[in-house]
Amino acid sequence: MDRDSIRKALRPRDNFPSIIGQDGMFRSAVLIPLVREKGQWSLLFQKRAAGIRQAGEICFPGGRFDEDQDRDFLDTAVRETCEEIGVSPAQIEILGSQGTLVTPMNVVVQPYTGILKIKSTEELKPNEDEVEELFTIPLQWFKDNGPSLYELPVRVHPYSENNKTGEIEFHFPSHELDLPERYKSPWEGSIPHKIWTWKTSKGTLWGITAEILADILPALLD
């Protein structure tokens, strides 16, 4: 697959609706970095450093939208990528947005695809405070190794029990609001939450990163 084919496969996905209530969610953006090495295309991943949230997990570079620094989510993706893996904005060729992911945990993620204009990943200088390791996985590997898929029920709990005192804490006054009985105890959504996983030599690739991958890989592996 040449560069023009990559650009065509990852053309921006337009006409996505805005998300109601996103100002109250954790808003973030990531870059899906493509690199050309040894005659084939690979995806660049990072393993999160010890001492930070979700330490040791595999992810794409990215982070939280900062109203003081970012005009939009693209600014977030580029800024965080530069900070984390040690490239300049000029070394990132943005191909486009790949839609918006909203998780059951009220996290909004805006992924962008981009080609890193580097000759070798050895040029990269990861921020040791945030990144334990950078590594690549060829697209061919994903073609040869499909994911495992799990489906988990999503349950809403209007109350919970304090593990220390045993007291019941109500989070939603369904009884006082005189709502139907089904809302006075935990209830499940009608659509389960899907979790994709890939077992790699660097660890298990899962969560938000894997969900984004599951969406974008069909275009890349076609």
AA letter at 218: P
Does residue 18 have a pLDDT over 90? no
Region 16-36: what's the mean pLDDT? 87
Q: Domain coordinates of the chain in residue numbers?
A: 3-141, 155-188
Q: Taking the model in full, what pTM does it have?
A: 0.86
Tokens of 90: 């000029």
Q: Is the pLDDT of residue 129 over 90?
A: yes
**Cβ-contact 105, 154 below 8 angstroms:** no
Q: Which amino acid type is present at position 84?
A: E
Strand duo 168-170 + 159-161: pairing: antiparallel
Percent of the chain with pLDDT over 70: 97
The mean predicted confidence, pLDDT, of the chain is 91
Sign of the Cα torsion 196, 7, 137, 129 reads negative
- How confident is residue 135, by pLDDT bands cut at 50, 70 and 90? very high
What's the pLDDT band for 164 if we cut at 50, 70, 90?
Answer: confident
Superfamily, domain 3-141: Nucleoside Triphosphate Pyrophosphohydrolase (3.90.79.10)
Distances (CA, A) of 78 to 144, 178, 180: 30, 49, 47
**Confidence grade of residue 104 (pLDDT, cut at 50, 70, 90):** confident
User: Quick one: 165 exposed, middle or buried, by C-beta within 10 A (0-12, 13-18, 19+)?
Assistant: exposed
